[in-house]
Amino acid sequence: TMPAYLNHQQKVLWRYKRDLFRDQYRFFACLLRAHFDEKRYGESNQAVDAGEEEFWDRQHPQPYIFPDSTGSTSYERYDCYKVPEWALDLLPPSEKAMYPDYFKVIQQIQEESPVDGPWTEALSPAHKKGTCLLYGGIM
């Protein structure tokens, strides 16, 4: 991911950066690892939440997102490139097993709705009120 062309200053700094900033990066990476070990963020769900909260406080106000990535300007612009929902049925069982809660809710919805599609806009009981299907119905 090099830029279009490098001028002389960039060529000089490139070599400098390769040596200098890698050290700095490793330094901060080690600091962050020590911080995580101390607060024990990886150990339980509450700790993960606490870690998320700290990230939320410290995050960048406008992080750079690539144009085609989620949440950026060029994402999902054309309908023809979106994968439809029935493609999820084609996943092999080993991959479906990686998301058990999500597929359980999907199966419940399919059992409770009529065969030829829903007739009204009312949600089936499998949709718990206030839950978001995105996280498998947990949140």
Which chain residues interact with another protein by CB under 8 A?
Answer: 1-7, 10, 61-62, 64, 67-68, 73-79, 82
Residue whose CB is less far from another protein, 18 or 45: 18
We find the least distance from the C-beta atom of residue 20 to another protein, in angstroms, to be 16
We find the least distance from the C-beta atom of residue 137 to another protein, in angstroms, to be 20
Residue whose CB is less far from another protein, 24 or 110: 24
- Amino acid at position 124, single letter: S
Cβ 66 vs Cβ 72: under 8 Å: yes
Q: b vs e for 68-103, b when ≥16 Cβ sit within 10 Å of the residue's Cβ?
A: eeeeeeeeeeeeeeeeeeeeeeeeeeeeeeeeeebb
Residue whose CB is less far from another protein, 80 or 98: 80
We find the least distance from the C-beta atom of residue 7 to another protein, in angstroms, to be 6
Residue whose CB is less far from another protein, 5 or 56: 5
We find the least distance from the C-beta atom of residue 77 to another protein, in angstroms, to be 4
> Rounded CA gap, 108 and 125, in Å?
9
Q: Residues 107, 134, 54, 22: is their CA dihedral positive or negative?
A: positive
> Rounded CA gap, 87 and 84, in Å?
6
Q: Which two tokens stand for residue 125?
A: 């009981």
